[in-house]
Structure 1
Amino acid sequence: MSVTSERRAAASAWQRVASLAKRALLVELRIYANIVRFVARRPAVAPGAVGFGYHQPVMTVLVVFIVLSAVEIPVIDLIVHRWPAVRIAMLVLGIWGVTWMFGLLCGYLMRPMTVGPAGIRVRQGLELDVALAWDDIASVARVKVVDEPKSPRIETTDAARTLVLRMQDETNLRIELERPTVVRLPGHAPKGGDQEITALRLWVDDPKGFLDEVRRHL
């Protein structure tokens, strides 16, 4: 490998590290922003739009993790209380972990899917946020699909390229687009970054209500 190639490889590696650090920082900030939204009871729903949750399949798991993480704090503190430095470090780590998990739960609650005058906003977790205008959408239908575990997020066939946003390996709505549309996904290519899609499959807790609201606009 030439010196120039080595420098390019090193620069590319540093760019990736910087990108990952920036992404981690943004996720951390969103954790606290979602907690503030939860306390203020201000979900991220545009004026005139209606929000639809998608958290029911994972709600129990998240609550159990939060409770177990909270219970671990006094237990670990009791074990390491003889070592002040370790005790402080474990307390900070434990409190941060509970806060992070609670912020993640708030992210599901405060960042719902939305249907409104501007179109459909597809969200998932802390990062994914895809805005689709009504001019981009050909149809929305209720179609329940159960996929194999660890199936790819982008499904590619001869006829379509579909973004799949599963909850517990399931989706219950399909959105067909009028034309190939570029959306930005968290992370880097080939799984993230700018991706051209022709359809989406997703899960909402109330698919009937979602479709009723779509019919008001589409």
Structure 2
Amino acid sequence: MSTTAPARRTRERLSAIGTFARRAVVMELRVYESIGRAIIRRPAVPHGAIGFHYHQPVQTILIVFIVLSALEIPIIDLIVHPWPVVRIAFLILGIWGLTWMIGLLCGFFMRPHTVGPDGILVREGLEISISLRWDDIASVSRVRNVDEPKSPKVAESDGITSLSVRMQDETNVEIALEHAVTVRLPGRQPKGGAHAVEVIRFWVDDSDAFMAAVRDFIP
């Protein structure tokens, strides 16, 4: 028994490290993919679908961080100028951080929600992407919710499990599903991993246009 417990904990730690490493690699690749898509102006929108942005609540914050990151590079370079090795290390780190922030902003622009013949694609930044077929969807409605800060994405109320993909703690569109659909969130359980949900809530900047596009497929 005493031998099994440490072995199990070791396996759990290794699994956690592996999950984190995979997640970090995926995010890093999507940073550069999003920058590339922004340069060639080709958002990740399926053929025949329409993209809908959701970045307005966080756009100002991200731009401020990008500007601060850009200003930080020459300031730190001036401070550590007498030490070439330190200077180069901070320069590389600063450029990487600035690139990452630009890629994150591009991810919001280049990975929009979509509505098309195959269904609805719900996204958030670099990681979340949930594909819903029209056969899975019972209804789509405009319902504005403002949740408490740091509320869990997945929650159960009155026997119904919901997923909230919030922007600044807010959602304004709600999809009720015909049956529970398994969605996969980044990270490990309980916050990440696979969850069976019956309602999905998320934010759309232009909810009027989004609902108009949905009515082309759900009268």
TM-score range, shorter chain: over 0.9
Gaps of 5+ in 2: none
Match of 2:6 in 1: 6
Distance 1:148 1:77, change over 3 A: same
2:134 is the counterpart of 1:134: yes
- Per the alignment, residue 48 of structure 1 pairs with 48
Q: Take 1:22 and 1:157, find their aligned partners in 2: how far apart are those partners?
A: 32
Letter in 2 for 1:95: I
Deviation at 1:155, TM superposition (A): 2.0
Equivalent-residue separation in structure 1 for 2:116 and 2:71 (angstroms):
41
Q: 1:52: Cα distance to partner?
A: 0.1
Letter in 2 for 1:166: R
Read off the aligned partner of 2:70 and give its amino acid letter: A
1:116-169 deviation digits (Å, cap 9, x = unpaired)? 000000000111000000000000101111111111111211241110011111
- For residue 10 of structure 1, report the CA deviation from its aligned partner: 1.2
Measured in 2, the distance between the counterparts of 1:211 and 1:86 equals 53
Amino acid at match of 1:81: H
Report if the CA contact (8 A) 2:16-2:188 is conserved.
no
Aligned to 2:111: 111
| Residue correspondence of structure 1 range 93-104 to structure 2 within 5 A | 93-104=93-104
Per the alignment, in what secondary structure is the counterpart of residue 144 of structure 2?
strand
Task: Name the structure 1 match of 2:85.
Answer: 85
What is the CA–CA distance in structure 2 between the aligned matches of 1:53 and 1:62, rounded to whole Å? 15
Structure 2 counterpart of 1:152, one-letter code: P
Residue type matched to 1:199 in 2? V
**Cα displacement string for residues 184-215 of structure 1 (whole angstroms, at most 9, x for unaligned residues):** 11111111111000001110000010000000
The separation in 1 between residues aligned to 2:18 and 2:170, in whole angstroms, is: 34
Deviation larger for 2-11 or 203-212: 2-11
Q: What one-letter code is carried by the residue in structure 1 that aligns with 2:174? A: R
Give the 3-state SS of the residue equivalent to 1:73 in structure 2.
helix
How far apart, in 1, do the equivalents of 2:35 and 2:140 lie? 32
Q: Distance in 2 between matches of 1:151 and 1:8?
A: 31
Corresponding letter in the other structure for 1:103: G
> How far apart, CA to CA, are the structure 1 residues paired with 2:83 and 2:5?
50
SS in 2 for 1:217: coil
- Identity, % of aligned positions: 57
Alignment partner, residue 173 of structure 2: 173
User: In 2, Cα distance between the equivalents of 1:110 and 1:100?
Assistant: 15
Determine the C-alpha separation between the residues in 1 that align with 2:107 and 2:160. Answer: 30
Aligned counterparts of 2:41 and 2:101: Cα–Cα separation in 1: 18
Distance in 2 separating the partners of 1:67 and 1:183: 35
Q: Gaps (5+ residues) in structure 1?
A: none
- Measure the CA separation in 2 of the matches of 1:108 and 1:217: 25
| TM-score normalised according to structure 2 size | 0.97
